[in-house]
Amino acid sequence: MLSFPNCKINIGLYITARRPDGYHNLETVFYPVALTDVLEIVPADVADIHLHGKGIAGNKQDNLIWKAYELMRSRFPAISTLDIHLLKNIPMGAGMGGGSADGAFMLRMLNDYYKLGLEKQELAAIALELGSDCPFFIYNTPQFATGRGEVMQPATVDLSAYSIQLICPQVHVSTAAAFKLLTPKAAPFDLRKLHELPIEQWVGYVSNDFEEPVFALHPELSAIKQQLYEQGAIYASMSGSGSTLYGIFEKGKHAEITSDLAFESHYIE
């Protein structure tokens, strides 16, 4: 069985409070984007995972796909030994949730392959054990998210009439370090009303709290965002805690970015 875990962007991201459990409360809109990895499962005599592609490192036990597999096997005896293959296309640690998507899609595949009959709400509860934004990829539709990112309600946002350009610099931004530079505050705009605001007006209302501290550490990222605007982006922002930036353009248009940083550019038409 094959699946194609996709990434996401954040439309607006406000860090509103520190929590007693050490996490932060946030408000954001998660929006799915069709830049995908490739995940395959096949029956095997011995369970194993094979990772290929960009930025693959570490032990299989640390991979969210493997954690998802072991989590489901511990609950459902019907799940047998599998050979798991991942082709990694989504840049890792780039603010697009690629690892979370892989883990969530593994849960979805196991549910379908073994006909477990789990509803999305049940899968989302299991996905939360893997990570705060994993439940989003169970639903994989635009969602207004609060809490740690796990409390969601559908968001009426549709960018299908536009093109999205992803700029993925080879800069690692530590999410933990970025959080330490933030001062939580009330959200300046209610993202549940995003659909009421023409996209041409987003720039005046919709922002990402991580941009100020991350741009201070990596001014090259701010320069890329400026180029996106200079070359016609209707709206541009950093996704998550970075380092990916995205621009929303009229259909068929994109920017030609120049930077001293090595980066990838992806066009979602």
Could you tell me the CA-to-CA distances from 135 to 66, 186, 221, 253, 262 in Å, in that order? 17, 24, 29, 32, 32
Do 96 and 210 lie in a common domain? no
| 85 exposure class (CB count in 10 Å sphere: 0-12, 13-18, 19+) | middle
In the chain, the amino acid numbered 78 is A
Tell me what percent of the chain is helix, strand and coil, each rounded to the nearest 5.
30, 30, 40
The CA distance from 166 to 33, in Å, is 10
- Please tell me which residue in 37, 88, 102, 133 is annotated as part of the active site: 133
Whether residue 141 is found in the same domain as residue 169: no
Q: What is the pLDDT of residue 93?
A: 82
This prediction's pTM = 0.95
Q: How many CB atoms lie within 10 A of CB 250?
A: 12
Catalytic, 8? Answer yes
Q: Which domain holds residue 12?
A: 2-154
Average pLDDT, the chain: 94
- Written as one letter, the residue type at 107 is L
Report the domain count for the chain.
Answer: 2
242 against 55, higher pLDDT? 242
| Domain stops at, among 122, 154, 186 | 154
127 and 25 in a single domain? The answer is yes
pLDDT in tens, 73-82: 999 999 999 9
Q: Name the pairing type of β-strands 162-169 and 263-268.
A: antiparallel
Q: Are residues 29 and 141 in the same domain?
A: yes
Sheet with 263-268, edge to edge strand ranges = 235-238, 245-250, 162-169, 263-268
Confidence (pLDDT) at 111 = 98
β pairing state of 2-3 and 38-43: antiparallel
Residue 58 has pLDDT above 70, yes or no: no
Six-digit token string for 212: 């100020």
Q: Does residue 13 contact residue 38 with C-beta atoms inside 8 Å?
A: no
Q: Half-sphere exposure (CA, 13 Å, Cβ side) for 35?
A: 27
Q: Which of 216, 203, 207, 10 is nearest to 94 (CA)?
A: 10
Task: Answer yes or no: is pLDDT of 34 > 80.
Answer: yes
Query: Is the same domain home to 210 and 83?
Result: no
pLDDT average, residue stretch 72-100: 93
pLDDT at 52 over 90: no
Reply yes or no on whether the pLDDT at 99 is more than 80: yes
Q: What pLDDT is stored for residue 21 in this prediction? A: 87
* 120 assigned to active site: no
Same domain, 28 and 135: yes
> What integer pLDDT is reported at residue 54 of this predicted model?
66
Amino acid at 239: S
Do 145 and 206 belong to one domain? Answer: no
CB 50 within 8 A of CB 87: no
CATH code for position 137: 3.30.230.10
Do 198 and 82 share a structural domain? no
Task: Please give the pLDDT value at position 38.
Answer: 96
Q: What is the pLDDT of residues 12-24, one digit of tens each?
A: 999 999 999 888 9
pLDDT of residue 222: 97
Q: What span, in angstroms and rounded, lies between the C-alpha atoms of 259 and 110?
A: 42
Among residues 154, 173, 207, which one ends one of the domains?
154
Q: Tell me, what CATH number does 179's domain have?
A: 3.30.70.890
Q: Are 211 and 13 spatial neighbours (Cβ–Cβ below 8 Å)?
A: no
Report which residue type is found at 243.
S
Q: In terms of domains, do 167 and 148 share one?
A: no
Q: Could you report how far apart the first and last alpha carbons of the chain are, in Å?
A: 27
Q: Clarify whether residues 134 and 235 are in a common domain.
A: no
The active-site residue out of 8, 88, 102, 209 is 8
Could you tell me where the DSSP H helices lie in 55-143?
64-75, 98-113, 120-128, 134-139
